[in-house]
Amino acid sequence: MLPNNKKQGQQIIKGIWIFNVIALIGITITLVFYITKRPISYPISPNITSTQISSVSAENPSSHSYAIPMGTLVHSPTPIIGNSATPFAPGKRPITIGYSVAGRPLEVYQFGNGSTARMIIAGIHGGNEWNTIVLADELITYLQEHDETIPVDKTLYILRNLNPDGEERAHTVDGRANDHGVDLNHNWPLFWQPDWRRDDCWNYRPLTAGAYPASEPETASLMNFISLHKIDALISYHSAALGIFPGGRPPDPASISLAQAAAAVSGYEYPPTKTDCDFTGNLADWASAQNIAAIDIELTNHTDSEFDRNFRVLITLLNWKK
């Protein structure tokens, strides 16, 4: 029995080996056939359609959007931070309230946290009146080191440069308009006119009032900020000469009172020098209609910040009683 069993066992093993060899050959043939006949594929299809590309970016808007408190116009998704470099120590950072036509941030510094809000605005005429921006920066620098200047019941906002595109373009009359060629002090939605009489009215370069009231992102951003923050008195700085202009047509009593108080401490002229220029659609008139005491102050030239006089104006603005 033993030899027979052994012979049977050897035959079974031989059969298993033959089966294995045949199976391996079959598997090899199948694999070779599969590899050589299957279609060529790429990790990424080279035929991405425009629809697919746009749907990808539409699904990811957050990576290119910015939190703007006022929900104002953003003409450029990429703010040009490098051109808004401010000469202040790090720590107190400005609020960006919107962007210029070219995408430069409009920066507001806040001081104090009282219930009554007041505001200083510089640079509405950009590089043509660049010394107003220098003044704003000097006031900001001082206040960052002297918190105690702000009364406990007040909040002060300083917008250092409403027209950064004009300021970047030139420190001459060429820097007066924004990047749409608009004079931002003719773009406000009260007494707005598409055009104005140009004689004796700073008509050195082609300037427009904008396509419609508050058409410009700079105007719309500041309008929203002023309305949302319940500003009750403001100063908009210009240069040069003429004096202090109160808002309103005719000027409202609160704006006249603030103009007189500012004139008393600064020596800037009130009433201002008469001019035939019709300031259609200006910021101070619009603010006056919002029950805000509003004045334009003209520095005496195009180069000096006149800090000392305007520091006294700042103290007056902070302590003036409406």
Q: Which residues bind Zn ion (CB under 5 A)?
A: 125, 129, 238
Q: What is the edge-to-edge ordering of all strands in the sheet holding 105-111?
A: 95-99, 105-111, 154-159, 116-121, 231-239, 293-299, 244-246
Least Å distance, CB 141 to Zn ion, is 23
Comparing CB distances to Zn ion, the nearer of 70 and 173 is 173
Least Å distance, CB 301 to Zn ion, is 13
Comparing CB distances to Zn ion, the nearer of 169 and 238 is 238
Least Å distance, CB 257 to Zn ion, is 23
CB 161 within 8 A of CB 120: no
Determine the Cα–Cα distance for residues 282 and 86; give it in Å rounded to an integer. 27
Comparing CB distances to Zn ion, the nearer of 180 and 238 is 238
Q: Percent helix, strand, coil in the chain (nearest 5)?
A: 40, 15, 45
Q: Which residues pair with 131 in a beta bridge?
A: none
Comparing CB distances to Zn ion, the nearer of 121 and 292 is 121
Determine the Cα–Cα distance for residues 134 and 141; give it in Å rounded to an integer. 11
Least Å distance, CB 281 to Zn ion, is 14
Q: Which residue is nearest to Zn ion (CB)?
A: 238
Comparing CB distances to Zn ion, the nearer of 143 and 235 is 235
CB 64 within 8 A of CB 77: yes
Other CB atoms within a 10 A radius of the CB of residue 170 amount to 14
Tell me the CA distances in angstroms from 126 to 23, 96, 211, 253, one per residue in order: 85, 18, 20, 29
Comparing CB distances to Zn ion, the nearer of 88 and 191 is 191
Least Å distance, CB 46 to Zn ion, is 57
Comparing CB distances to Zn ion, the nearer of 129 and 168 is 129
CB 257 within 8 A of CB 316: no
Least Å distance, CB 122 to Zn ion, is 10
Determine the Cα–Cα distance for residues 157 and 128; give it in Å rounded to an integer. 23
Least Å distance, CB 92 to Zn ion, is 28
List of E strands, the chain: 95-99, 105-111, 116-121, 154-159, 231-239, 244-246, 293-299
